[in-house]
Structure 1
Amino acid sequence: MANFNAAQLREIAIGLEASGQQFIWVVKKDPNAEEGKEEWLPDGYESRIRSKGLIIRGWAPQVLILDHEAVGGFVTHCGWNLTLEAVTAGMPMVTWPVAAEQFFNEKFVTQVLKIGVNIGVKQWVRLFGDSVKSERVEEAVKRVLVGEEAEEMRWRAKALAEMARGAVEEGGSSWSDLGALLQELRQQRLAHNEKI
């Protein structure tokens, strides 16, 4: 639902390159763009990042990417499903909320779980997100991937992933809660059928 304009995509591109970190960047295909002619892409960008970056245009297997051992962080808009996928994968996050509950989820990730770094957006918008400069992208990516703070986030994220896996295993809290819900629904159906 939210889109970044060409100027914001350019800032992201510059920030990712400046971070010096390896990355996979998934962007929507622009149906109006001529093949190889994207106005937001800095000149010569893809050849410069060839050894450390990959741009995927269109759909990407996000869960498979998050679960790969080489991936060290994830930039997310903080939708609940994406947040759960990142937590389950043990992935520290750069948070970039756009609307709705995403700002609350950001606080949960950065201030409660302490497994993320906020990119700095403050405004809830419907179609386009706050403008973030390349320097902020670079800084957030480095903070989540490099140094002692990154190591601590990674350690906490891995611990949370273990807890999440335990919750869905037989006997875990999610397993038990789902079983209790199913039992309650069966009882409700039986009670309803007896009234008829």
Structure 2
Amino acid sequence: MEREIFVVTGYWQGHLQPCIELCKNFSSRNYHTTLIIPSILVSAIPPSFTQYPRTRTTQITSSGRPMPPSDPLSQQAAKDLEANLASRSENPDFPAPLCAIVDFQVGWTKAIFWKFNIPVVSLFTFGACAAAMEWAAWKLDATDIKPGETRLIPGLPEEMALTYSDIRRKSSVPSRGGRGGPPKPGDKPPWVPEIEGSIALMFNTCDDLDGLFIKYMADQIGIPAWGVGLLLPEQHWKSTSSLVRHCEITEQKRQSSCSEEEVIQWLDSKPRGSVLYVAFGSEVGPTREEYRELAGALEESPGPFIWVVQPGSEEYMPHDLDNRVSNRGLIIHAWAPQALILNHISTGGFLSHCGWNSTMEAIVHGVPFLAWPIRGDQYFNAKLVVNYIKVGLRVTDDLSETVKKGDIAEGIERLMSDEEMKTRAAILQVKFEQGFPASSVAALNAFSDFISRKVT
């Protein structure tokens, strides 16, 4: 009898992509997978996904945000999911699934799966370090850390001790940034109630980056935990020339001010390791004032750069910046071919918000960071990069204040001139030259064994 696994994705592209890759991994292991997606993301599924054997998708109603119980749209989404499961349970051609792997962002779906006796595995689309640090900050009540004080975390190395700067955050963030501000006494990580009742945890990471933190989370929560990533699209495991062809064939065509070919031609004209890539993803960004500070720093810095300006942020930056920096800067509006840029030999640094997908991509391509986290797990992703694997610098130690032009310019200069850091990034990159990490293959094997025993 065919084995099936449900995978339920959260509400943003950064959650969908890892879930798609996870489904592909299960398909290659002869599992049938049903990807449950909010209707708002249907157009974001690449056509190639439907070509994988043993994969299908099921839609549920979309909400504009993760689902509070009072949201009418979430109530409708719950009804959609329950109706789907009910119809399947009545059909002998659809045996009960082995489990549902649920993105923590949509943990509300657990109760519906439990109605049909389907066990739930919780999926973190970010890394285990961020989860471990958030858990430790809560359990150690780190909100009272004073300036200059550190608080060691039992079971984790000294360089990951909690500090005052780990807890200080801006009290508000720009409109794309969502909830922000420092944690309050007693605040638990928002994902804690979303994973309660799960039989195991999965993290979009691997032992080479996060092995210590995966073990920490398994020990703390008391259930198995696996790193099953890096759940990156296939093009991130290819050479530059293959990347160009792959993007031409399979990449969704998105609105952009530059084509892939134009970006590659510009990069080809720059010296090896000289280009700073500046991008903050699609969901968060600096404040209006910080955009201007960043523009000033890029203008004053002597080296070449690519700056991806998010939709809606154009008004924040000087309108004549393109002319002032001339061919030294390539300013891309809207979408940019990030895999191509990070993998190019001319790219030598990445000023990043340290969203987990961007963090993984830069590590795989051997590019060191100037870390500018803005919300959520990004703060501790930055700590992993800077303190633990040591392939990055912080843009400033105090992110509770506006980031200034001088800090940005100094950070760029330090990053682009630090040959030791570039060497460490290149050494780490070698671990991923053979493709999907061996430790994650082993983790998926361990999951298969676990779930087979659990349901028999």
1:16 paired with 2:301, answer: no
Deviates more, 1:133-142 or 1:76-85: 76-85
- Give the 3-state SS of the residue equivalent to 2:344 in structure 1: coil
Distance 2:316 2:354 in 1: 27
Aligned to 1:144: 415
Aligned to 2:451: 185
1:68 paired with 2:336, answer: no
Distance 2:288 2:397 in 1: 18
Distance 1:186 1:74 in 2: 42
**Conservation of the 8 A alpha-carbon contact between 1:66 and 1:91:** yes
Of the two, which has the highest radius of gyration? 2
Unaligned runs of 5+ in 1: 125-129, 192-196
- Give the 3-state SS of the residue equivalent to 1:91 in structure 2: coil
Distance 1:67 1:39 in 2: 29
Residues 175 and 167 of structure 1: is their aligned pair in 2 closer, same or farther, counting only changes over 3 Å?
farther
1:114 paired with 2:390, answer: yes
More strand by proportion, 1 or 2?
A: 2
Distance 1:133 1:83 in 2: 23
Distance 1:25 1:48 in 2: 14
Given the alignment, which residue of 355, 361, 364 partners 1:79? 355
Deviates more, 1:89-98 or 1:130-139: 130-139
Residues 97 and 119 of structure 1: is their aligned pair in 2 closer, same or farther, counting only changes over 3 Å?
same
Q: TM-score scaled by structure 2?
A: 0.36
Q: Report the Cα offset of residue 72 of structure 1.
A: 0.6
**Conservation of the 8 A alpha-carbon contact between 1:88 and 1:161:** yes
Aligned to 2:309: 27
- What is the percent sequence identity of the aligned residues? 35
**Counterpart amino acid of residue 384 in structure 2:** F
**Conservation of the 8 A alpha-carbon contact between 1:116 and 1:153:** yes
- Give the 3-state SS of the residue equivalent to 1:73 in structure 2: strand
**Conservation of the 8 A alpha-carbon contact between 1:167 and 1:173:** no
Distance 2:339 2:449 in 1: 31
Q: Report the Cα offset of residue 23 of structure 1.
A: 0.6
Aligned to 1:168: 436
- Give the 3-state SS of the residue equivalent to 1:120 in structure 2: coil
- Give the 3-state SS of the residue equivalent to 2:327 in structure 1: coil
Distance 2:415 2:406 in 1: 14
1:46 paired with 2:322, answer: yes
1:95 paired with 2:363, answer: no
**Counterpart amino acid of residue 5 in structure 1:** T
**Conservation of the 8 A alpha-carbon contact between 1:121 and 1:132:** no
Q: TM-score scaled by structure 1?
A: 0.79
Deviations 1:142-167 (A, max 9, x none): 11112xxx111111001111113457
Q: Report the Cα offset of residue 90 of structure 1.
A: 0.7
Aligned to 1:127: none
Aligned to 2:424: 156
Residues 48 and 123 of structure 1: is their aligned pair in 2 closer, same or farther, counting only changes over 3 Å?
closer
Deviations 1:39-62 (A, max 9, x none): 5216x3211212210111111121
